[in-house]
Amino acid sequence: MAGKVIVGGTAAGGYTQRINTGSHTLTADEPLDVGGRDQGPTPYELLLSALGSCTAITLRLYAAHKQWPLEDVVVELDHDRIHAEDCADCETATGLLDRIRTRVTVTGPLDEEQVARLREIAVRCPVHRTLAGEITFDDSLVLSTSA
């Protein structure tokens, strides 16, 4: 089913998780220095991967629709936590905030107007909008009894 993700532990144990989505299987884990086996990206790396791939795909779709000569898109991302008081334009005034920094590099014979428009479009990808918008969760926990 499109949009459905199932995550579960692996026979290897530890923090390694098997991720199934449609016909794809991925692995997530934690680094060795925090007790993981480093068998795959961390959950935050997967989150950044979702944002980066969505940004690149959105730019490619937009450029193709406009028939612009976009040759390549590379999105570099990192995540950290900062003190709210260090953020001049944030709504939150105290505590820690998550910060995602992105650097998008586009290649091709694009003019200044096209590059400026791609800069605007980059922050309009669906994953960016989801992360920047209000998110609600409908969480549940079910106890499964072993036979």
Name the pairing type of β-strands 24-28 and 17-21: antiparallel
Is 137 inside a domain boundary? no
Looking at the structure, tell me whether residues 46 and 33 fall in a common domain.
Answer: no
Q: Give the pLDDT score at 147.
A: 58
Is 141 inside a domain boundary? no
Q: Which domain holds residue 9?
A: 1-40
List, for residues 128-147, the tens digit of each pLDDT value.
999 999 999 999 999 988 75
Is 106 inside a domain boundary? yes
Q: Give the pLDDT score at 87.
A: 72
List, for residues 73-129, the tens digit of each pLDDT value.
999 999 998 877 777 677 777 778 889 999 999 999 999 999 999 999 999 999 999
SS3 letters for 80-127? EEEEHHHCCCCCCCCCEEEEEEEEEEEECCCCHHHHHHHHHHHCCCHH
Q: How far apart are the first and last CA of the chain?
A: 28
Looking at the structure, tell me whether residues 27 and 86 fall in a common domain.
Answer: no
Looking at the structure, tell me whether residues 78 and 35 fall in a common domain.
Answer: no
